[in-house]
Amino acid sequence: MRVADFASGSGSNFEAIAKSDELKNLGLEIEILVCDQPKAHVLKRAKKYHIPVFVNQLADYPDRSTYEQAIIDKLKPLKIEYILLAGYMKVVTPTLLAAYPNHIINIHPSLLPKFSGLEAIERAYQSGDEVTGVTIHYIDEGVDTGPVIKQCKVVRLGNDTEASLEARIHQTEHQMYRQVILDLLNKNNEVAK
């Protein structure tokens, strides 16, 4: 299964996927990392795993549609089947959605629909909610909306700081993203039989 990862920042989710031998052995091929931030740490992680990168900045285009069209032009020859968003900080527009309908997956650090948008972990922590979590979903035209694939709860402990809660959320994200891709690979391999 040929995928493109999209990321803008640290890239811990990207690395959780890239380093998994289990996923590789089941046929996961990360063909490219698309990154909109030339200084993002995720670019160093991609180098470590010898994954090609496409650094593409919105500021270099007249509008979002042409920005995304440049991405599509890069992905099409690579025969990308799924796009995995992992901390990609741009809203995806109908241009990219139409090129990969129902094949773009996103991870969000809350139990959607709660705390959609930016700073989800901080807002969940400040809300005092006893339970927060992680959502992996197909994207649609909204922000952090679209059909849910998997949700997992993360319980807030009595002595949690925002940082300790965040660390557990990230751990949960890494496990969940690997599991969701594993399920997808198994499904695809089953269909191919």
Q: Which residues are known to be catalytic?
A: 108
Give Cα 27 to chain centroid, integer Å.
19
Alpha helices in the chain (DSSP H): 12-18, 21-25, 42-48, 64-75, 94-99, 120-127, 162-192
R_g over Cα of the chain: 16
User: Which candidate, 172, 164, 16, places its Cα nearest to that of 108?
Assistant: 172
What is the nearest approach in angstroms of ligand GRF to the Cβ of residue 108?
A: 5
Q: Which is nearer to ligand GRF, 68 or 173 (CB)?
A: 173
Q: Which is nearer to ligand GRF, 97 or 169 (CB)?
A: 169
* β-bridge mates for residue 33, sequence order: 5, 53
Name the strands in the sheet holding 82-85, side by side, starting at the edge strand that comes first in the sequence.
53-55, 29-35, 2-7, 82-85, 104-108, 131-138, 148-155
Q: Which is nearer to ligand GRF, 100 or 115 (CB)?
A: 115
Q: Which is nearer to ligand GRF, 7 or 18 (CB)?
A: 7
What is the nearest approach in angstroms of ligand GRF to the Cβ of residue 14?
A: 6
Residues that bind ligand GRF (CB under 6 A): 7, 9-14, 86-87, 107-109, 173
Residue closest to ligand GRF when measured from CB atoms: 87
Please say whether the beta carbons of 33 and 46 come within 8 A: yes
What is the nearest approach in angstroms of ligand GRF to the Cβ of residue 127?
A: 17
Give Cα 77 to chain centroid, integer Å.
22
| Tally of residues, the chain | 193
What is the nearest approach in angstroms of ligand GRF to the Cβ of residue 105?
A: 11
